[in-house]
Amino acid sequence: MSGVSVSEARASYETVIGLEVHVELKTRSKIFCGCSTSFGAPPNTNVCPVCLGHPGTLPVLNEGAVELALRAALALNCRINQDCKFDRKNYFYPDLPKGYQISQYDQPIGEDGYVEIEVGGERKRIGIVRVHLEEDAGKSMHAPDGSHTLVDYNRTGVPLIEIVSKPDIRSPEEARLYLEAIKSIMEYCDVSDCRMEEGSLRCDANISLRPFGQREFGQKTELKNMNSFRNVQRALEYEAERQTAVLSAGGVVEQETRRFDEATQTTVSMRSKEEAHDYRYFPEPDLVRLHISDEWLERVRGSLPELPLAKRDRYVAELGLPPYDAGVLTADRGVAEYFEAVVACGADPKTASNWVMGDVLASLKATGERIQACPVSPANLAGLMKQVEAGRISIKQARDVFKIMWDTGKDAETVIREQGMEQISDEGMLAAIVDEVIANNPKSVEDYRSGKTKALAALVGQTMKATKGKANPAVVNKLILERIGSPDSGASGGGPADA
Amino acid sequence: MRITEETVQNVARLARLAVGREEAARLAPQLSDIIGYAEQLQQVDLEGVEPTSHPLSRYNALRPDEVRPCLDREAALANAPDSDGEQVRVPAVLEG
């Protein structure tokens, strides 16, 4: 390359990304047979003649899978094809026992939707081309020495939806935000667990570059094997750099499939024989058509929960939370429900937000627990907040109480009593102690009076020490000032001058 | 529509069928005849007729989302050409 660095050249190309996301639906049984969908069962124990593709067997569509796909498509703002069908996608691979995958080709259950993401404080819509129902394939394990491949068919026939975005994504960061939005929406709708590590959410990406201002898309590559949102972003970042280097050196991007290599953080060509895929789709003769009645559609539409972005807007508008708080609290439905339960117990929303985003989420992270298993119930957290508000304990003490509540499951009142932590706010009780501290620390009093205002803190500290931290610092402050007066330095200004 | 030998070879490859050159030469005209026969249907006036994707007019043959017993693994693997007792063993397939 002559003179121009890749990073400089990056600035002259626009990145265009489209994502295909596969989401496993949370049904109990498979899409076309009664086998369990439970994850982690011993290999080939959730299989039957239907999902193994034995001759003479017939698929029967799982109503629950249709219901969840419908819910997902509606949550993604899609138009629903109330009359649709299934098709066969024909190809040979050992993880596909029938030699074809039952999918939806020209009549997907949902079309033409969108997802909203927030990029740099701005809302942006990413279009959804389609949402269709299909069955998952089995899982192949390739022997490290390349001698053979082992196949587990437990996952064969687990219901999936494929969500295809429009090429509306303009950066690897937007790609990650889009994925986070999809995951969050799927979890809110109880459509999927979206556990990438268990393969219940998988993502492939198409990426191309074009000079800014050009309408036509550049040649794209397809990226696979990205097993976390972070890796999707990294793979796309690497690929954008790679394509920039190719283009700015006057080269041509080859249309190909590339695999993300986690060890090197790069993408490598899969060098597949790139014979154009010819899936020979045709209508699945073993399944009759699907008709979603108006009643069914409206019932599902009515059952949709408040979605993350709407909830977020409401937290800002109705609860007065900063947008940042609202974003953190609504990212996970469980966290949002927990927070709302705390507020429903009468807690101040902003204070509740501080607790949930702070001690609650930090403790969950430390223990790896999900919020549903949080040992401090919303009511108990609200109870703890009331103790602080009533001045019985300080914020600092409250955080210690929280830790004990977390470990023991006890409520705040019990913990405070058992630990003898109750804060002393009673002026009568504190006055004698304050008097004693002042008598014993003439130097600090002198320092304070001569303008060293820091000396006040030393006096308060002595009082706190004498009460084993139980004194209410605000009351102590007030009592000390009442006794030692203001500093002499004439620096008493700061208050508004008398008119 | 004329089916060429090339089409026959292509379809055979997609279906993983071993079709030799001579066989393809013999099959191509036969398949052309069959397709040609079916092509008469193209002449039917379909004005106002909805496309048919399934011969049965009923729809929504659905089952409730309920788990039913699966096969024993031993039985499931009995028909596989090879296994390690837990998984089906196939010749190495490597992506990439």
pLDDT computed for residue A417 by the predictor: 85
pLDDT band at A494 (very low <50, low <70, confident <90, very high): very low
What mean pLDDT do residues A233-260 have?
93
Does residue A261 belong to the interface with chain B, where contact is any CB pair within 8 Å? no
Across the range A57-64, mean pLDDT stands at 97
Chain A (68-127) residues lying within 8 Å, Cβ to Cβ, of chain B:
85, 90, 92-94
* CA-wise closest residue to A28 among A1, A55, A65: A65
A-chain residues near B56 (CB < 8 A): 288
CB-closest option in B53, B60, B84 to A150: B84
* Rg of chain B taking only CA atoms, in angstroms: 22
Is pLDDT above 90 for A352? yes
Strands A221-226 vs A257-261: parallel, antiparallel or unpaired: parallel
Cβ–Cβ under 8 Å, residues B6 and B27: no
pLDDT tens digits, residue range A200-227?
999 999 999 999 999 999 999 999 889 8
- Rounded CA-CA distance A240/A257 in Å is 14
How far A66 CA sits from the closest chain B CA (Å)? 9
- A338: exposed, middle or buried (C-beta count within 10 Å: 0-12, 13-18, 19+)? buried
User: Touching check for B91 and chain A: CB below 8 Å?
Assistant: yes
Q: Does B50 contact chain A (CB < 8 Å)?
A: no
B55–chain A nearest CA distance, Å: 8
Chain A residue numbers with beta carbons less than 8 Å from the beta carbon of B17 are: none
- For residue A3, pLDDT beyond 70: no
Residues of B in contact with A46 (CB under 8 A): 70
- Whether pLDDT at A341 is above 70: yes
Strands, E assignment, B1-96? 62-63, 88-91
Architecture field, domain A427-484? Orthogonal Bundle (1.10)
Closest CA to A109 of A263, A336, A290, A294: A290
Q: Can you say how many angstroms the Cα of residue A19 is from the centroid of all Cα atoms in its chain? A: 18
Contact present, A244 and A15 (Cβ < 8 Å): no
Residues of B in contact with A224 (CB under 8 A): 95
Q: Which two tokens stand for residue A3?
A: 């003179």
User: Rounded distance, CA A156 to CA A51, Å?
Assistant: 6
Among the partner-chain residues A45, A52, A270, the one whose CB lies closest to the CB of B96 is: A270
Joined together, the tokens standing for residue A339 give 């927070």
* Residues from chain B contacting residue A109 (CB–CB below 8 Å): none
Handedness of CA A27, A30, A36, A39 (dihedral sign): negative
Out of A27, A48, A142, the one facing B92 most closely (by C-beta) is A142
Please tell me the distance from the alpha carbon of residue A310 to that of residue A343, in angstroms, as a whole number.
18
Higher-pLDDT residue of A470 and B46 is B46
More confident call, A89 vs A390: A89
Q: Report d(CA A355, CA A362) in Å as an integer.
A: 10
Contact residues, chain B, for A272 at CB < 8 Å: 95-96
Residue pairs spanning A and B at CB distance below 8 A: 135
Residue among A157, A151, A158 at smallest CA distance from A50 = A157
Specify the range with the lowest mean pLDDT, choosing from A170-174, A351-355, A398-402, A490-494: A490-494
- Here the ipTM equals 0.90
Q: Do B86 and A44 touch (CB under 8 A)?
A: yes
Mean pLDDT, all residues of chain A: 90
**Residue A101 in contact with residue A158, Cβ under 8 Å?**
no
* Cα gap A215→A344, rounded to integer Å: 52
Instruction: Look up residue B93 and give its two tokens.
Output: 């397939």
Work out the number of other CB atoms within 10 angstroms of the CB of residue B55.
7
Q: What is the pTM of this model?
A: 0.81
Return phi, psi of residue A103, to 5°: -140, -170
In contact, B63 and A60? CB cutoff 8 Å: yes
Average pLDDT over residues A99-127: 95
Q: Residue B83's closest chain A neighbor by CA?
A: A150
3-state class (DSSP) for residue A472? coil
Question: Are residues A246 and A267 in contact, defined by beta-carbon separation less than 8 angstroms?
Answer: no
Which residues of chain B lie closer than 8 angstroms to A287, CB-CB? 54, 61
Neighbours of B33 (CB within 10 A): 11
Structure tokens at A324: 């940042």
Residues of B in contact with A141 (CB under 8 A): 87
Tokens of A199: 């393969």
- Alpha-carbon distances, residue A237 vs A64, A86, A405, A491, B52 (angstroms): 38, 36, 44, 58, 46
Compare CB distances from A148 to B10, B62, B90 and report the shortest one's residue: B90
The confidence score (pLDDT) of residue A1 equals 43
The whole-number average pLDDT for the span A329-346 is 94
Amino acid at B16: R
Distance, in Å, from the CA atom of B15 to the CA atom of A483, rounded to the nearest integer, reads 97
Within 13 Å, how many C-alpha atoms sit on residue A308's CB side?
A: 27
String of DSSP letters for A269-331: E-----PPP----EE-TTS-BEE--HHHHHHHHHHPPPPHHHHHHHHHHHH---HHHHHHHHS
**Residue range A83-110: mean pLDDT, rounded:** 95
Find the CB nearest A290 among B59, B65, B88. Answer: B59
Nearest C-alpha neighbor of A149 from the set A160, A138, A135: A138
Cα of B9 to nearest chain A Cα, Å: 14
How is A221-240 classified by DSSP, letter by letter?
Answer: EEEEEE-SHHHHHHHHHHHH
Kindly determine whether residue A62 and residue B63, on different chains, have CB atoms separated by under 8 Å: yes
Q: How far apart are the C-alpha atoms of A332 and A130, rounded to whole Å?
A: 25
User: Could you give the domains of chain B?
Assistant: 5-42 (1.10.20)
pLDDT for A272 equals 60
Please state the domain extents for chain A: 6-295, 306-419, 427-484
Q: Which residue is closest to A85 within chain B, CA to CA? A: B53
Q: Distances from the Cα of B75 to the Cαs of A47, A66, A467, in angstroms? A: 10, 31, 75
| Contact A288/B at CB under 8 A | yes
Chain mean pLDDT for chain B: 91
Burial level of A270, CB count in 10 A (0-12/13-18/19+)? middle
Q: What is the distance between the alpha carbons of residues A434 and A479, in angstroms, rounded to a whole number?
A: 7
